[in-house]
A and B are shown apart, each in its own frame.
Chain A
């Protein structure tokens, strides 16, 4: 059945897709009268050429690790969670409530509370679509899309009418107290004698994100629950026959997925902004889709793809700053990655498969 060796499946197909996306992006840059090679140099310089650039790249990557893992876990149960954006927004609300209304003596305690709050709120926002999918058969994709919009309205209401400090015109919460400030990479690395940019927003949440990658790996491939999730994703009738309850798998995998998406808020709300603002997620929930597809739903792949997208994000910001290429170029690249690694997967795979088949026939 397996036509291609595993390395081709895991490495070659995503790389070719990425290459196709890169070629098309280069053509787009050419078409708007800029030099693609100079653009790439500028992006590499801006995103990876200094600890400042790295700090931003890793900050974005932290967001995308969480949302990418969220989409990936749902993918394993053959569900498409487009609601990462809304779940991350609600996660922000959880973080804000945890940080604002309790006098934490130390940031580590606050981080634990914020983590719980973010995960709970994110999971709760995924719970309703999951329940409707499991019990009423409503399509999870449509309900999660709708819940993104409802989340935006809820957040807007909460910020404008409830959480906004008196006298402030800005729809945002007040600043969190300095005691809940998460250590930045500068503060973490300084004791080891490593100079890291002070201005960059990468912070302790990066370590939480890496821990989440490892935990998700362990969950999916090293536990009974993970086996059940994969079995359900592989074949629902098969899983049912083996005594796995679809309702349970749908609920649990979506709760984990929503919780992971919500966790993103400890990075962008607690680690960076240190208050909750409107549109704090900046589309990171959607980038999770591209990251999960690119990373083939494997935590290691998600980790690498998140760093790639972090690089694209920071590099794209530098491009917008120094050239006439607007930031939206990143959205185009993101679209092309989703298109080639997700929707047009077979376009890359079919010729490769026939190539490998011919090679094998020639050998035997």
Chain B
């Protein structure tokens, strides 16, 4: 394996980690506020469809991003309605949202475009194109560092940089602002927050809205940057991998970035190689596919440090009467 191959794999790692990272941070906000969200997958899927459809119709990818984010936030509002206002089961609500998105996207795609549940391919301004960072071309010939800068760091779509900027932003918002402190408190001990005169319901809705926003960007990235258009069920379990990454990261932003990069790397390797031969021993491609999930189970089992979710997670808040 030469240097260039490694660069290429790492490059595709970054591309594949981006939607995971955005969805993972989305889940981070929601779960830190005590709202479990297994509907990340559905929200991404809805956003992917509406962004691609809008971009295909209007020709503007930015309008697409807006539409995708709105779609995702509508589903978030539904999740909030079910799990905050009506104190329903958050897990069941998430399952319902996933199915709703899986069904509705194909239904609407078929009605609008008649292409078997896909959108037309996006071209030109309908996609997020690669951004070349300054001096990338000039530095390309510098040994080692040149390719790293021009291939690996430069040449991604703007959403990739946005996703990675979201990591410090999330950290700052959650751990250095009053809003973040309250948000985390709502996920650990909502009664205390309520006693302090802050609306638990308001905080939780805010968290769910941020979750919808980030999932929306993740979905839009999938359909308008990573690929050129929407295809049926295109999230392909990424929402669940993001959930796995979130647990793997034990609900912390920087760790979330590293776990998403790890899972992105696994996807990149599985995409590039079918079976991996190490001497006589063959690692089948299915093992690579299953690895993120197996790692998550191991982490959850507490064999590698215990993953403790926010204490009030999954519990609807009922004011004392």
Q: B181 at interface (Cβ–Cβ under 8 A)?
A: no
Contact call B301/A343, Cβ cutoff below 8 A: no
Residues of A289-338 at the interface with B, using a CB-CB cut-off of 8 Å, are: 289, 293, 324-326, 328-336, 338
Contact call B106/A149, Cβ cutoff below 8 A: no
Contact call A343/B88, Cβ cutoff below 8 A: yes
Instruction: Report the Cα distance A178→B57, complex, angstroms.
Output: 54
Q: Per DSSP, are chain A's interface residues mostly helix, strand or loop, or mixed? A: helix
Interface string of A335-354 (1 = CB under 8 A from B): 11011001111110010000
Instruction: Report the Cα distance A336→B286, complex, angstroms.
Output: 33
Contact call B117/A326, Cβ cutoff below 8 A: yes
Which residue of B107, B111, B117 contacts A332 across the interface (Cβ within 8 Å)? B107
Residues of B233-264 at the interface with A, using a CB-CB cut-off of 8 Å, are: 237, 240, 243-244, 247
| Chain B residues whose CB sits within 8 angstroms of the CB of A136 once the complex forms | 300-302
When C-beta atoms are compared, the residue in chain A nearest to B87 turns out to be A346
Contact call B100/A289, Cβ cutoff below 8 A: no
Interface hit among B90-98, B143-151, B154-162, B192-200? B90-98
Known: A149-B240, A149-B293. A335 touches B87 (CB 8 A): no
When C-beta atoms are compared, the residue in chain A nearest to B98 turns out to be A335
Instruction: Report the Cα distance A31→B111, complex, angstroms.
Output: 9
Pick the most buried of A132, A138, A346: most chain B CB atoms within 10 A of its CB.
A138
Q: B287 at interface (Cβ–Cβ under 8 A)?
A: yes
Tell me, rounded to whole Å, the shortest Cβ–Cβ distance linking B49 to chain A. 12
Which residue of A326, A342, A350 contacts B89 across the interface (Cβ within 8 Å)? A342
Number of B residues, CB within 8 Å of A: 47
| Chain B residues whose CB sits within 8 angstroms of the CB of A143 once the complex forms | 297, 300
Residues of B27-81 at the interface with A, using a CB-CB cut-off of 8 Å, are: 38, 78, 81
When C-beta atoms are compared, the residue in chain B nearest to A346 turns out to be B86
Q: A20 at interface (Cβ–Cβ under 8 A)?
A: no
Q: B99 at interface (Cβ–Cβ under 8 A)?
A: yes
| Chain B residues whose CB sits within 8 angstroms of the CB of A343 once the complex forms | 82-83, 86, 88-90, 92-93, 96
Q: A52 at interface (Cβ–Cβ under 8 A)?
A: no
| Chain B residues whose CB sits within 8 angstroms of the CB of A333 once the complex forms | 103
Q: A146 at interface (Cβ–Cβ under 8 A)?
A: yes
Contact call B99/A139, Cβ cutoff below 8 A: no
Tell me, rounded to whole Å, the shortest Cβ–Cβ distance linking B39 to chain A. 10
When C-beta atoms are compared, the residue in chain A nearest to B296 turns out to be A146
Q: B289 at interface (Cβ–Cβ under 8 A)?
A: yes
Pick the most buried of B88, B99, B104, B300: most chain A CB atoms within 10 A of its CB.
B99
| Chain A residues whose CB sits within 8 angstroms of the CB of B293 once the complex forms | 146-147, 149-150, 153
| Chain B residues whose CB sits within 8 angstroms of the CB of A329 once the complex forms | 103, 107
Contact call B88/A328, Cβ cutoff below 8 A: no
| Chain A residues whose CB sits within 8 angstroms of the CB of B107 once the complex forms | 28, 32, 325-326, 328-329, 332
| Chain A residues whose CB sits within 8 angstroms of the CB of B243 once the complex forms | 142, 145
Known: A32-B107, A132-B300, A343-B88. A336 touches B290 (CB 8 A): no
| Chain B residues whose CB sits within 8 angstroms of the CB of A364 once the complex forms | none
Which residue of B82, B90, B300 contacts A138 across the interface (Cβ within 8 Å)? B300
Interface string of A225-257 (1 = CB under 8 A from B): 000000000000000000000000000000000
Contact call B301/A142, Cβ cutoff below 8 A: no
Contact call B286/A339, Cβ cutoff below 8 A: no
Q: B102 at interface (Cβ–Cβ under 8 A)?
A: yes
Known: A142-B247, A326-B117. A331 touches B99 (CB 8 A): yes
Known: A146-B244, A150-B294. A330 touches B103 (CB 8 A): yes
Residues of A131-145 at the interface with B, using a CB-CB cut-off of 8 Å, are: 132, 136-139, 141-143, 145
Interface hit among A154-162, A187-195, A206-214, A263-271? A154-162
Tell me, rounded to whole Å, the shortest Cβ–Cβ distance linking A100 to chain B. 21
Q: B125 at interface (Cβ–Cβ under 8 A)?
A: no
Contact call B82/A344, Cβ cutoff below 8 A: yes
Interface string of B129-148 (1 = CB under 8 A from A): 00000000000000000000
Interface string of A18-54 (1 = CB under 8 A from B): 0000000000100111000000000000000000000
Instruction: Report the Cα distance A343→B316, complex, angstroms.
Output: 12
Instruction: Report the Cα distance A154→B100, complex, angstroms.
Output: 28
Q: B309 at interface (Cβ–Cβ under 8 A)?
A: yes
Q: B177 at interface (Cβ–Cβ under 8 A)?
A: no
Known: A328-B117, A343-B88. A154 touches B96 (CB 8 A): no
Contact call A289/B92, Cβ cutoff below 8 A: yes
Instruction: Report the Cα distance A286→B240, complex, angstroms.
Output: 15
Instruction: Report the Cα distance A293→B93, complex, angstroms.
Output: 12
Contact call B91/A80, Cβ cutoff below 8 A: yes
Contact call B93/A342, Cβ cutoff below 8 A: yes
Q: A95 at interface (Cβ–Cβ under 8 A)?
A: no
Which residue of B97, B102, B286, B290 contacts A331 across the interface (Cβ within 8 Å)? B102
Q: B202 at interface (Cβ–Cβ under 8 A)?
A: no
Contact call B86/A347, Cβ cutoff below 8 A: yes
| Chain A residues whose CB sits within 8 angstroms of the CB of B87 once the complex forms | 346
Contact call A149/B290, Cβ cutoff below 8 A: yes
When C-beta atoms are compared, the residue in chain A nearest to B83 turns out to be A343
**Beyond known contacts A289-B92, A325-B107: 5 more, CB 8 A cutoff:** A82-B95, A132-B300, A330-B103, A344-B86, A345-B86
Q: Which residues of A contact B (CB under 8 A)?
A: 28, 31-33, 80, 82, 128-129, 132, 136-139, 141-143, 145-147, 149-150, 153-154, 156-157, 160-161, 286, 289, 293, 324-326, 328-336, 338-339, 342-347, 350
4 closest A-B pairs (Cβ-Cβ)?
A: A331-B103, A343-B93, A335-B99, A332-B103
Q: Which residues of B contact A (CB under 8 A)?
A: 38, 78, 81-83, 86-93, 95-100, 102-104, 106-108, 110-111, 117, 237, 240, 243-244, 247, 284, 286-287, 289-290, 293-294, 296-297, 300-302, 307, 309
30 contacts between A and B (CB under 8 A): A28-B107, A33-B111, A80-B89, A80-B92, A82-B91, A128-B297, A138-B297, A142-B247, A142-B296, A143-B297, A145-B243, A149-B240, A150-B297, A153-B290, A154-B286, A154-B290, A286-B99, A324-B110, A326-B110, A328-B110, A329-B103, A331-B106, A334-B103, A335-B96, A335-B97, A335-B99, A336-B100, A338-B92, A343-B96, A344-B86
